[in-house]
Structure 1
């Protein structure tokens, strides 16, 4: 019997399926400036989208905090001394949590700035509560291996994991790698052309191998050239194109997709995330009207056919 929770209350239909809370932004008497992570980047993303008139405060889904009972769906009581985005993605066809993506945290252990296993929790809630959701694919394109969700779904054949990461950096979790169905290990300084070709090839391959009921897309921006922790050399335009590739692949197959923003340790990453969301909107891959129409609506299917181009001729500019 599912436990009682406020995380799965229906969001207002007038809202974009973009999830945010001011609480995402962490401050501590200025000490956050000493840390490589931009603790205020999520608020900056929202502000950039407001400036472009895409969203307004009353059109955003406010994130709810998970209770201990909610977190116990994944975490042990010993370990415990945010999260309606998954259902929203299924209901609307897509959702973006401007935060989240804590992919180093597993059910009983945190790591790498990650305190809660939100990816695992999203998927387990969907399996428990949403009829018709029995298979999930995680596409993890953060620069780091997503060892937390990999450990959690090690023996769960309902979850297909694709992970593309710098092979030489944290966490180097050999045990967790056993859970990866499609593993792409990158070299130091990998650039746009090679990276985007690999992302395109393997996203298509993963979704052709198994068509899931939901995609959880971990869209880290720590792949950006100059990131102090990522070690890769992807341009801002490359990040925008990467997100486009993933959303086009999902839309062409009419698979709901939940995007979380994960790592990214430079001040300019907030603008890049906002630019990517604006690009997805300009291409018709995310849309408020689409969101309220449902993924199986004929109008949506026509939109998919109109906006999905031949990715074999993908421009890498």
Structure 2
């Protein structure tokens, strides 16, 4: 029997499936302003979306704190506040957690700024609690290898992992790579054209190889040109297009998708994340009607086909 939990209470239907808590932001007497990383980027993303009139405070799903019993599904007694996004994605067709994506943490070990295995927890909760969810695909497009969830699902054939990362940077976990079904190892300084072509090819290939019941999309912005840890050279427009490619692939197949924002260590990443979410909305890939029905409309499907055709010829431009 599944244990009792407060994480899976249904939010009001009027809410966007966008999950956030002010607790995501790290503050300490102003000292966070001296740090080169943007410790408050998640709050800035929400503020940008408010300024554009996409969302308001009462339309956001508030993240909840997990109990000890919740955390024992994977961890020992630790704190986590991001689990319910998985069910929300299944119910509404999509969800975006403005935070999360701690892909270096496995069930028994943290690493690389990651204290909690939230991707593992979200998927295991879905397998345990949501009827009809028995297969999951992780599309990890953070600049770093997602060795945490790879170790957790090493021998679990229900989970298909695609991972595209800079081959020369942390963590270089050779053992964890054995769990990757579709591995895309990138060179230093990879730029938009090559990157987007590879993302399109391998996302399509992954979803054609196995149609999952849920996609967990780790949308790290540390691929941005100039990121001190990523070592790639993707433009802001390239990041927006990347997210569009993944959502179009999911929506065209009517697969629920949960997006988490993961790494990104420059001050401008919050604006890029917000711009990407706004772009998804403007293209009709996320909206309240689509969220409620989980079914793509014909105009969106035609747009997806046209875009896919254009991306296939991207390298010729």
Is the TM-score greater than 0.5? yes
Going from structure 1 to structure 2, the CA distance change for 1:115 and 1:210 (only over 3 Å counts) comes to same
Contact between 2:71 and 2:78, CA under 8 Å: does it hold in 1?
Answer: no
1:232–1:92: structure 2 CA closer, same or farther, 3 Å change rule? same
Q: Which ranges of 4 or more aligned residues in structure 1 deviate by more than 4 Å?
A: 77-81, 296-311, 313-317
Q: Which secondary structure state, in structure 1, belongs to the residue aligned with residue 293 of structure 2?
A: coil
Q: Which runs of 5+ in 1 are unaligned?
A: none
Q: 1:316 to 1:60 in 2, by over 3 A?
A: farther
Per-residue deviation, residues 13-39 of structure 1 (Å, max 9, x unmatched): 000000000110011223323434311
Give the superposed CA RMSD. 2.4
User: In 2 relative to 1, CA 202–298 (structure 1 residues): closer, same or farther, beyond 3 Å?
Assistant: closer
Residues 84-99 of structure 1: matches in 2 within 5 Å? 84-99=84-99
C-alpha contact 1:24 1:42 (8 A) present in aligned 2: yes
Q: TM-score, normalised by structure 1?
A: 0.94
Q: Deviations over 1:106-158 (max 9, x none)?
A: 00111111111000000000000000000000000000000000000000000
Does the residue aligned with 1:162 lie in a helix, a strand or coil?
A: strand
> 1:23-80: CA deviations, max 9, x gaps?
1001122332343431100000000000000000000000001111111101135999
- Change in 2 beyond 3 A, CA 1:291/1:31: same
Per-residue Cα deviation, 1:190-238 (whole angstroms, up to 9, x for no partner): 0000000000000000000000000000000000000000000000000
Distance 1:80 1:233, change over 3 A: closer
Contact kept? 1:295, 1:301, Cα under 8 Å: no
* Structure 2, unpaired ranges of 5+: none
Q: Secondary structure at the match of 2:17?
A: strand
**Worse-matched range after superposition: 50-59 or 28-37:** 28-37
Structure 1 residue 288: Cα displacement: 1.1
Conserved? CA contact 2:80–2:116, under 8 Å: no
Q: Equivalents in 1 of 2:190, 2:299: separation in Å? A: 39
2:39, 2:78 → 1: CA distance?
27
TM-score, length of structure 2 as denominator length = 0.94
- Whole-angstrom CA distance in 2 between matches of 1:16 and 1:140: 24
Deviations 1:284-310 (A, max 9, x none): 000111111233889987897798766
Q: Is the 8 A contact 1:19 1:98 kept in 2?
A: yes
Tell me by how many angstroms 1:245 deviates.
Answer: 0.3
CA apart distance, 1:85: 0.2
Contact 2:100 2:118 in 1 (8 A): yes
In structure 2, the residue matched to 1:17 is 17
